[in-house]
Amino acid sequence: MDGVNGGEDVGARLAPSRAAVSHWLGQRLSAALLLVLVPWLMFSLGSAGGMELDDLRQWIGRPSHALGLALFFLAAWYHAALGLEVVVQDYVRPESLSAVLVLGVRLAAVVGAVAAVGAVIWIVAGMQ
Amino acid sequence: MVQFRLPREARPVTGREHAAPERAARPRRFVVYRFDPDTGGPPRLDTFVLDLDDCGPMVLDALLKIKNEMDATLSFRRSCREGICGSCAMNINGRNTLACTRRIDAYPGEIRVLPLPHRPVIRDLITDLSQFYRQYAVVEPWLQERTPPPPDRERLQRPADRARLVGLEECILCACCSTSCPSYWWNEARFLGPAALLAAYRWIEDSRDEATAQRLDALDDAYRLYRCHTIMNCTEACPKGLDPARAIAGVKRLLALRKL
Ligand code: SF4
Ligand code: SF4
Ligand code: FES
């Protein structure tokens, strides 16, 4: 008799995928990074409440700030992509659609991360 | 998308009412799930009113009384009536547990008895657990050795090594945990579920087993292991007081340590 969600024991016949531990580790490590970077960013930008656009540029232009900001964008997009992948794999059927969506999530994250880091570099370069 | 609701034909309707015997001193209502594959139609929730003064103390006693005296067609599994065979696992007032180790007076009012959730129902309270057993087989739950055993004695284990198996080896495979896990509901085809993963960890932790690396390889999979999101329903449900969620965390920890 078939099960309710997905039927027969595909899992028993498919070989294990192997790379799954990296996904899990990546999730934990990026979360730890964000745990430091998000408060730092909130504190810095919070105290910059009345900043003019030029002041903000100045702030981002400082090498340590630019580095922190770039790191934040990378970690945030990476973490978001890993999290969304889990949601897709949990709930989306059939598995072919789920695989396509996972690829889409990864692509979107790469585009987002490249755009964000590119913007930081662009601002820093504009300061020189 | 995964299926979140039962199809219409599988949603239970109100069934028959079997009244209490006359002069019942302590009447108690039991609402029991009924499904008969031969007559077809949707499952029913039948009500049986028992006199607790004339019934054993456990929920299983009530079911046996119903079967013996009120409706002989009621079907359920049971064997040991002392929480060791795992046959009588069912959903009582919303929780998966063993009918034979639950006291009737632990529940305040009406007692609702349903089959284990999210399994195909064969008849009444009997569900199809073949997928659950196949998943158990996937983790190869037996001692695997590479070196020959000592010629003059069995493979010995130090007391400290044996102690590591406490809380892992008492599992009676009742399926209360796996069938209470939302991740298992959505992904039963590929997620092994807490019971099989607890068994896997039991052999990983066994000092005599020599297949630890292969066992970890077999679990390093996005579906088999990592569909577990530490929801902890499994630990909450286990009628033997075991902690499958902790065992799963143990497997994840070993995989991470090996990677780093
Ligand atoms: S911890 Fe939660 S997700 Fe993991 S197996 Fe147990 S119930 Fe399922
Ligand atoms: S871990 Fe507990 S709930 Fe799960 S199958 Fe074993 S005894 Fe039953
Ligand atoms: S009858 Fe054996 S566990 Fe309940």
How many Cβ atoms sit within 10 Å of the Cβ of residue A106?
15
Asked if residue B70 belongs to a domain, the reply is: yes
- Quote the number of domains for chain B: 2
Domain finish residue from B127, B150, B165: B127
Domain finish residue from B127, B154, B184: B127
Domain finish residue from B127, B156, B171: B127
- Quote the number of domains for chain A: 1
pLDDT digits (tens, 9 = 90+) for B231-257: 999 999 999 999 999 999 999 999 999
Phi and psi dihedrals of B249, rounded to 5?
-60, -35
How many Cβ atoms sit within 10 Å of the Cβ of residue A127?
11
pTM given for the model: 0.91
Based on the fold, state whether residues B188 and B249 are members of the same structural domain: yes
Q: Which domain holds residue A14?
A: 10-127
- Write the residue with the smallest CA distance to atom 2 of ligand 2: B238
Based on the fold, state whether residues B165 and B227 are members of the same structural domain: yes
**In chain B, what's the furthest Cα-to-Cα distance?**
71
pLDDT digits (tens, 9 = 90+) for B33-86: 999 999 989 999 999 999 999 999 999 999 999 999 999 999 999 999 999 999
Looking at the complex, report in whole angstroms how far the Cα of residue A30 sits from the nearest Cα belonging to chain B: 15
| Separation CA B55–CA B65 (nearest Å) | 7
> Strand B13-18's sheet: what is its strand order?
B13-18, B44-51, B27-34, B111-114, B89-92, B95-98
Based on the fold, state whether residues B155 and B119 are members of the same structural domain: no
Asked if residue B3 belongs to a domain, the reply is: no
Based on the fold, state whether residues B67 and B164 are members of the same structural domain: no
Residue among B183, B187, B222 minimizing CB distance to A17: B222
Residue among A5, A8, A28 minimizing CB distance to B186: A5
Looking at the complex, report in whole angstroms how far the Cα of residue A72 sits from the nearest Cα belonging to chain B: 23
User: Which ipTM was obtained for this model?
Assistant: 0.81
Based on the fold, state whether residues B134 and B252 are members of the same structural domain: yes
Based on the fold, state whether residues B118 and B65 are members of the same structural domain: yes
Asked if residue A2 belongs to a domain, the reply is: no
pLDDT digits (tens, 9 = 90+) for B4-36: 888 888 999 999 999 988 889 999 999 999 999
Q: Which of A8, A21, A29, A105 to mutate to test the interface with B (most CBs of B within 10 A)?
A: A21
